[in-house]
Amino acid sequence: MDDLKAIAGRLLNQEILAAEPAAGGGNNRVYRVTTEGGAYALKFYPPQEEDKRDRLGQEFAALEFMAANGIDCVPKPIAADKDLCCGVYEWIAGAPVGGPDEGDIDAMTALAARLAELSGAPGTEDLAPASAHCFSGVAVTQQLNQRLRRLGEAGRDNDALNRFLKDNFRPRLEALAGRAKGFEADLAPGHRTLSPSDFGFHNALKRNTGGIVFLDFEYFGWDDPVKMISDVLWHPGSNLAPALGEKFRKDAGKIFEARDDGFAARFDALYPLFGMIWCLILLNEFLPERWRRRVAAGNTTDAAGAQARQLQAAEDLLQKIEHA
């Protein structure tokens, strides 16, 4: 921990009294560092040699932009070191959102609405597209095919994975593929929104002092609001009750229907395809580079067990898509 304390001390220009592991995401290492003035979060990201996306730059820029525009339901950015792939942020003292209620949905919708309002604000021209953004039906299809091809290559010797892809996933994808037709052109910039991207209560805490704080903005950026809403509803970590999911769909949808006549038709067409993408995301544990990242972040070393669980989760999600 001495190295961690030295890094945090240099970034904060303060003496670090303690540094201890905190719960982090599947790809990052997060530590709680304590000074006389309080606690901070020290977050390490995967090196860009492993992942070409600039997760640190994306998250830090997003939080700086939101702080500059008065959004206080996210952590404040403090300092960053690009060479070490780490950033220091406000420490949020709180607890996971165990069972979200309508008020929590309102808080999530309020953040989506505020980001939509800020789409033309100064500084937005410097913000990049969201990670895995989809500005057209063509992009949705391309992302599905790329993920499917990569999984097929990585798991060619895994009988269970190959059976699922061949017998279950591919037939369903073929049945849904036509939904992307008619959306070949890129979405007009005025119809895009700033999206947290990995948005939901799996990345949120309820402050001990009250109110929800949303976390993890390393995929933040410009995207189709249809994808933003779909991702919230399909994300396995959201675990929203049907009534709450429908409330978010309707309330968030109204924000974008008011300025985009094509929003409703695009949502109806593409929503199941984004669910199919999530089926493949659930299978990332079969990708060697993704698994190495999980282990480096300290999550688990039981690859076979994790793969079996994720394959079952993908099968369950595919069933939901068939009945959506």
Pull the structure tokens for residue 265.
Answer: 């038709």
Of 1.10.3470, 3.10.450, 1.10.1740, 3.90.1200, the CATH number of 95-322 is 3.90.1200
Closest CA to 135 of 222, 234, 24: 222
Give the model's pLDDT for residue 1. Answer: 64
Give the model's pLDDT for residue 53. Answer: 84
Q: Provide DSSP, 27-85.
A: S-EEEEEEETTEEEEEEE---TTT--S-HHHHHHHHHHHHHHTT--SSPPEEEEETTTT
The pTM assigned to this predicted structure is 0.92
Domains of the chain by residue range? 2-91, 95-322
Architecture of domain 2-91: 2-Layer Sandwich (3.30)
106 Cβ contact list (under 8 Å, min separation 6): 251
d(CA 312, CA 283): 10
Q: Give me the residues of the chain with pLDDT under 70, please.
A: 1-2, 24-27, 48, 50-51, 291, 293-301
Q: What is the CA 36 to chain-centroid distance, rounded?
A: 33
Q: pLDDT tens digit string along 210-242?
A: 999 999 999 999 999 999 999 999 998 887 999
Q: Is 21 helix (H, G, I), strand (E, B) or coil?
A: strand
Q: Is 288 helix (H, G, I), strand (E, B) or coil?
A: helix
Residue 87 host element (H or E): strand 86-90
